[in-house]
Amino acid sequence: MLSRILLTGLTVLGLSSPAFAHLDPEAHGSFASGFTHPIFGLDHVLAMIAVGLWAVLLDGKALWGLPSAFVGAMIAGFGLALAGVPLPAVEPMIMGSVVLLGALVAFALQLKWTHAAVVVGIFGLFHGYAHGGEIGSAGELGYALGFVVATALLHALGLLIGYAGKLNVSPTSRRAEFLTRILGAATAVIGLTLIAG
């Protein structure tokens, strides 16, 4: 089971490419354009999966609280972009989110779930703003639904990967946590590579 879930995750990462991140809404529709924006952007994919991984490490209310905070803040960021409200350092914050979220998973930082939700919410705001800034001619509702569904699926993939490690090894095994933390470290390193160019 773990190998299938990891294979799915690696496939998503392999398909992540800026060339596919921006489908023409005229040709493919607003929903598809919004859906592919996070799916085919490696920075978005890594950050969103890391949210799911961190939620598994925190457990309890974090399992729904972290993904919900990210998605809610992402929608708010999308609204800010559509309203033309300036938000500084969008790209650096998105790239920083990959590194920091990966590091939070790698170090298995234990915060109260509400504090962790604030952290992921801040990053979600910037990811949503980026989606809004690249809407092009897509319809707002269809585009927003597309990226919300894609984001929720990426969070779910992170949750599945985290839980697959627990189920494949043992729910209480330190090895399962170690595997999740290794994925977090890999995420942070890839994020640093993306920043370096």
Domain boundaries, the chain: 2-196
Contact 53, 106 (CB under 8 A): no
Quick one: tokens of 194? 């993306």
Q: In angstroms, rounded to a whole number, what is the distance separating the alpha carbons of residues 60 and 177? A: 15
Quick one: tokens of 168? 């494949």
Average pLDDT of 7-30? Answer: 52
Contact 62, 173 (CB under 8 A): no
Average pLDDT of 138-146? Answer: 95
What is the model's pLDDT at position 163?
86
Contact 152, 42 (CB under 8 A): no
What percent of the chain is predicted at pLDDT more than 90? 72
Q: Model-level pTM?
A: 0.86
Range ranked top by mean pLDDT from 1-10, 14-23, 155-164: 155-164
What is the model's pLDDT at position 28?
52
Indicate if the pLDDT at residue 23 is higher than 60. Answer: no
Mean per-residue pLDDT over the chain, rounded = 87
pLDDT in tens, 56-108: 999 999 999 999 999 999 999 999 999 999 999 999 999 999 999 999 999 99
Contact 191, 95 (CB under 8 A): yes
Whether the CA torsion 161, 164, 169, 173 is positive or negative: it is: positive
Average pLDDT of 143-154? Answer: 97
Instruction: Classify residue 152 as exposed, middle or buried by CB count within 10 Å of its CB (0-12, 13-18, 19+).
Output: middle
Contact 124, 73 (CB under 8 A): yes
